[in-house]
Amino acid sequence: METNNGTALKGKRIAVLMTDGVEQIEYTAPRTFLEEHGAQVTLLSPKEKGEQVQGFNHADKADSFEVELNVKQADPRAYDALVLPGGVSNPDQLRMSPESIDFIRSFASQDKPIAAICHGPWTLIDAGVANTRHLTSWPSLQTDLRNAGAEWSDDEVVIDGKLITSRKPDDLPAFNNALMQTMLVNPIDADIGPSS
């Protein structure tokens, strides 16, 4: 595993798409991990820039986080990967946001890495990304994902092409590592030539 701590993801831009009800650790742990490896992370939301997103620790209110960019103003081409944290009401609200679903769909059509954890994969159904894909999620979503045409399995992390999914906060180390490895072998880099 080639990970020069602090520099492995230097120059990479990651979008995290979320809103109220996000499972806090599924936002903070990937963000910290990605930033520690040199990536630039931006919190996108259907809310306006500067508004707060309410995080949760399971059913309890936790911290709030400032929106860095409204998803309507975000250009999917400007980002190298997309992270979709869970929490029950977060993806439920994102599914009702056409701009959020369009953003996810655009990422998938550009074949860029998408990493969704816990209830996060719910949004993949609305974006038309779940069909024929191998996924995992919080167990209560398995019927929804199967009905959308996905193959579902109860695994710590599932990687299907550039689509990475995990079940719960306990899976975060595997989830983070899978996202980083997927980004390090991103064929877009091959077009640029060898890096020093």
Q: Which CATH number is 71's domain given?
A: 3.40.50.880
- Determine contact, residues 33/5, Cβ cutoff 8 Å: no
> Which residue numbers are catalytic?
118-119
Is there a domain that residue 146 lies in? Answer: yes
Q: Residue 50 falls within a domain, yes or no? A: yes
Domain-embedded: residue 104: yes
Crossing angle of helices 24-36 and 172-184, in 10° steps, is: 40
Domain annotation covers residue 191: no
In terms of residue numbers, what domain contains 125?
13-185
For the chain, the distance separating the N- and C-terminal CA atoms, rounded to the nearest angstrom, is 17
82 part of a folded domain:
yes
Domain count, the chain: 1
Q: Is residue 66 part of a domain?
A: yes
Per-residue confidence of the chain (196 residues) as pLDDT tens digits?
A: 444 567 899 999 999 999 999 999 999 999 999 999 999 999 999 999 999 999 999 999 999 999 999 999 999 999 999 999 999 999 999 999 999 999 999 999 999 999 999 999 999 999 999 999 999 999 999 999 999 999 999 999 999 999 999 999 999 999 999 999 999 984 444 333 333 3
193 in any annotated domain:
no
Is residue 45 in a domain?
yes
Q: Which tokens go with 56?
A: 């949760």
